[in-house]
Amino acid sequence: MRKKIRPAFFAVAAVLLFSVFLAAQEKTPRFIGTEKCKMCHKSESRGNQYEKWSFSPHSKAFTVLATEHALKVAQDAGIKGKPQEAAGCPKCHVTAYGAPASAKAEFFSQDEGVGCEACHGPVRFLNL
């Protein structure tokens, strides 16, 4: 009798694991932005990553493109127009620049500059 239970147990376990795997695959990663990351990563117990980021140059990477210096750098590089709108500049100064709209949550803002997800990738586990 024991030999009959083992295959049934493994079959049920395999079906359950496969179901969990499929459910995880349905959650498409999306960029949510640093303001949402802040919800969990602002406390001292977690190292207050949000505050560290907010004082870093990364948090100002998009707004710096609006400066006169950025305009001169862009002109010297042969980029016409405003650096915040030129295709060559935001790709390095904005997280998820060029990613399709379906990969970004509706509240995602490129104004945050280079956020958490530039290195850590988009979020997969939140129901947003």
CA neighbor of 90 nearest in space, from 49, 119, 104, 99: 99
Whether 62 is in a domain gets the answer yes
pLDDT band at 28 (very low <50, low <70, confident <90, very high): confident
CA 83 to each of CA 35, 56, 80, 86, 99: distance values in angstroms, whole numbers, following the listed order: 24, 20, 8, 5, 18
Mean pLDDT of the chain: 85
Domain count of the chain? 1
- Which pLDDT does position 16 carry in this prediction? 57
Percent of residues, the chain, with pLDDT higher than 90: 65
Angle at alpha carbon of residue 61, lines to 100 and 31, rounded to 5°: 30
Identify whether 22 is part of a domain.
Answer: no
pLDDT score, position 52: 95
Retrieve residue 1's tokens. Answer: 């009798």
Q: Is residue 14 part of a domain?
A: no
In a domain, 42, yes or no: yes
Task: Encode pLDDT of 70-100 as tens digits.
Answer: 999 999 999 999 999 998 899 999 999 999 9
Write down the pLDDT at residue 118.
96
- Whole domain around residue 97: which residue ranges? 29-120
Backbone phi and psi for residue 39, each to the nearest 5 degrees, phi listed first: -55, -40
